[in-house]
Structure 1
């Protein structure tokens, strides 16, 4: 079950960059979501510009595989936001839109999950972190369907089960573990500040839904899985396309030279 987890009790190296990415994103999330709770559309657009600047700056220090993963994550998550929020009404932002800072924000969230997943701390204590996450999210999910909270959370319990599948069957459990922390952080802050609100009844299966759902990290894990799975194929396609263009260029030059003669 844990064969994709790193070996325990190994002195994995620490990179300051990984912790810097995480600290920056956690801080930006807290500041931006609280600011947007009472801000204007113009402020959202300005925050979007800042978020894109931060994301592009962070990507300069990453390899092409991670950059492609971030591109896929941003594209897939943005489509998901428009479908789940604007079209389905599963949750709603204050202005009924997808704020300009959300797409680059998804990129920073994904990059943070990757950075924490490869950090020395997460690699060394992966099993203890997994135990903490499962117990915490599991308790939260049970509470949501216990009948005690005013707003039930059947969706959260279902998503928690999906999250467990990602965690123990997926090939990138460390990314999913890290995603739990950053996504839970942003969901709790965003909903508490009133930046967005989850519908009490989920629109597809008509199940009760918390604000936020307890297992909401599973949705972000889907983004992570798509990014990790799609990036190699896209890079391979780009590489083959580049090789095809390079192979065709000399032939074009030869034909042009023959015509000139």
Structure 2
């Protein structure tokens, strides 16, 4: 936390600009979930189709501007997001959308979120201060998950947050991406559930009474991580030769530094 505050003001300002450039529009778009919320659909007009179209257009626009690697990862994220959403929502009953379906804007949203965070985490200045940024994000994650636990009895979210830290314990290169994902997912989930676009049961999976849950639970990004890991795995499988070449280059670099 304090190391983050020691970043030179000029660089800190630039990092914040990069963050809001990549994530600011996404955070603002969370308020679009009001269109798929209970109040809007009961008092104005039924609008899920409109939101599906808006998110689809946003996805296509970002896909057009993305480099080939990000473009491919976005497409993979949408496909896996579509499959994962049906599995977690319809099969496991982890959460329920307002119309008890899986809106098309959701998997498209996965692709947009993935690309935004990927571009933020790969910015040169962000990578330069990645340890300072990670320490700041860890403090936010601990505050959010502990607050949810103590005041909202969110045992389910707290347990998932612990798993997030355990998964990333020996994966330092992935922490910036996934810690950033955690914070944005918390914002997304608070907006979606507040507007009534979807809801979570009062216990984990609606089954485990020893896992009381808030609506939403704090650590839901754990399942976004599984999606993101799936994207990387699929990408590596599709590009095995390039991946092997990259690993060989890294080994050579390690040998040369010894």
* TM-score, with structure 2 as normaliser: 0.76
Larger radius of gyration: 1
Q: How does 1:130-141 map to 2 (within 5 A)?
A: 130-141=134-145
Q: Is the 8 A contact 2:78 2:111 kept in 1?
A: yes
Alignment-derived partner of residue 33 in structure 1 = 33
> Is 1:177 the counterpart of 2:179 in the alignment?
yes
Alignment-derived partner of residue 247 in structure 2 = none
Q: Is the 8 A contact 1:19 1:119 kept in 2?
A: no
Alignment-derived partner of residue 163 in structure 1 = 164
Q: Is the 8 A contact 1:117 1:123 kept in 2?
A: yes
**1:19-66 alpha-carbon deviations (Å, 9 max, x no partner):** 544232222222x21121134596212221221221121122223222
Unaligned runs of 5+ in 1: 1-7, 238-261
114-123 vs 90-99, which moves further: 114-123
**1:200-227 alpha-carbon deviations (Å, 9 max, x no partner):** 1113544211211111222212211111
Q: Of the candidates 112, 116, 131, which is equivalent to residue 112 of structure 1?
A: 116
100-109 vs 166-175, which moves further: 166-175
Q: Is the 8 A contact 2:193 2:216 kept in 1?
A: yes
Q: Of the candidates 172, 194, 199, which is equivalent to residue 197 of structure 1?
A: 199
Q: Is the 8 A contact 1:198 1:211 kept in 2?
A: yes
Distance 1:176 1:212, change over 3 A: same
Alignment-derived partner of residue 55 in structure 1 = 59
2:49 aligns to what SS in structure 1?
Answer: helix
Q: Matches of 1:192 and 1:120 in 2, distance apart?
A: 36
Q: Is the 8 A contact 1:114 1:178 kept in 2?
A: no
Structure with greater proportional helix content: 2
1:172 aligns to what SS in structure 2?
Answer: helix
Alignment-derived partner of residue 122 in structure 1 = 126
Q: Matches of 2:125 and 2:193 in 1, distance apart?
A: 29
Q: Matches of 1:133 and 1:19 in 2, distance apart?
A: 15
Q: Is the 8 A contact 1:191 1:197 kept in 2?
A: yes
Q: Is the 8 A contact 1:51 1:101 kept in 2?
A: yes
Q: Is the 8 A contact 1:166 1:173 kept in 2?
A: no
121-130 vs 184-193, which moves further: 121-130
Residues paired across the two proteins, number? 225
**What RMSD in Å do the two structures reach over aligned CA positions?**
2.8
* TM-score, with structure 1 as normaliser: 0.75
Unaligned runs of 5+ in 2: 1-6, 242-258
Q: Matches of 1:125 and 1:184 in 2, distance apart?
A: 23
The ranges of structure 1 where at least 4 consecutive aligned residues each deviate by more than 3 angstroms after the TM superposition are: 11-14, 16-21, 38-42, 143-146
Q: Of the candidates 57, 64, 72, which is equivalent to residue 76 of structure 2?
A: 72
Q: Is the 8 A contact 2:137 2:180 kept in 1?
A: no
